[in-house]
Structure 1
């Protein structure tokens, strides 16, 4: 991991994600997109994720080249769905950058503590927390199943069936185990639980939130001109 220069509260990173979502479907010119790309890449680099920033910059460059140079010279009908998918990917690219930074910076516990500070209803917070814990556990199960199947010489179709059935069973078992673990931890208790996570908004966090709001306003007013 590269050197970290700043450390943000999860709530300020959530504000960046909301701002990126607002900007996603606003009209923007290429200079505006490049400015947003550089700003988010600098934010990722300052947070200690230089490789992530470089990967997203390279991904945007490849995406732009495909949309502007590769697709126009190919048959339109067969690649219509692919062109639409790439266009949508370009639209939500900045959302992906902000979301990747949020996930990399915050554990599930830290993120749930931030959402609780934002007064998110428990009816939303509890399913969100369980879901965020579900996918890493499922990923580990899938990795173990793939490792077990890699040593067997099987046709592709048979291998897919042999992998998918255990994955479905593992997904069901994982969901059941997480539900029981949540019940044991008192997730159904109506009182407000205590939390060991100490979150604190610094002036840098407030500056990031203000800058995110200013960027949304600037893109809304003049993004299509640049």
Structure 2
């Protein structure tokens, strides 16, 4: 069982939580562009290691575009427009580390492992329950939207009617999905106050210790530089 889990999950979910907190720290306290570039590069390498190559490439391209806008294109504009637009790339750039860490957890760490990790970290169930339902909610709605689009393509529905059909269907599906997920959580005994057990076995591997060490090193570098 442990070998199967190691193949399915690239890093321990607790490591992902630590990386996410480190990324949030980088958002609020980092002042060095070099440290920021190193953080982005490290997260991209972790995404590649987790077999999310296209996701890593997209984030690298987005970060490069924002940097070019901030340092090369916007300074060429008139001063009034420059002052109005300069905050936008700085604002978006600050969220990149957090979004990259979150995309890794969403794409490669299933919700059941994340719930077990939060339970191991002694996080209150008042946080675990809504978060676990939220993590299952959006993939469910996304899958249903794909089915709706495929059905409309088969019926050759026009763009205006397609937009109307998608909006109405999404509203109905959103309500139905929330009811189904809530019922599934109750069925699994989520309201039972007794101590929860799990068949999932989590343990740190070498890559987890490496990621935690690098994350803590970046947090220290943020306050030093």
Task: Return the TM-score normalized by structure 1.
Answer: 0.84
More helix by share: 2
For residue 37 of structure 1, report the CA deviation from its aligned partner: 1.9
Rounded to whole Å, the distance in 2 between the matches of 1:22 and 1:9 is 20
For residue 187 of structure 1, report the CA deviation from its aligned partner: 1.3
Residue segments in structure 2 that go unaligned for 5+ positions in a row = 1-6
SS at match of 1:25: helix
Deviations 1:83-137 (A, max 9, x none): 5443322011011111112222210101111011001111110111111111111
8 Å CA contact 1:149–1:163 kept in 2: the answer is no
The total of aligned residue pairs comes to 216
> Residues 26-41 of structure 1 correspond to what in structure 2 (within 5 A)?
26-41=29-44
> Residues 135-214 of structure 1 correspond to what in structure 2 (within 5 A)?
135-150=138-153, 151-154=155-158, 156=160, 158-214=161-217
Deviations 1:1-31 (A, max 9, x none): xxx9x94211112111110110112243332
Residue segments in structure 1 that go unaligned for 5+ positions in a row = none
SS at match of 2:106: helix
> Residues 48-67 of structure 1 correspond to what in structure 2 (within 5 A)?
48-67=51-70
Task: Return the TM-score normalized by structure 2.
Answer: 0.84
128-137 or 52-61: bigger deviation: 52-61
Aligned to 2:4: none
Deviations 1:47-90 (A, max 9, x none): 3333322222122111211222333445756994x754433220
Taking only aligned residues, the RMSD between alpha carbons, in angstroms, comes to 2.5
Rounded to whole Å, the distance in 2 between the matches of 1:27 and 1:122 is 32
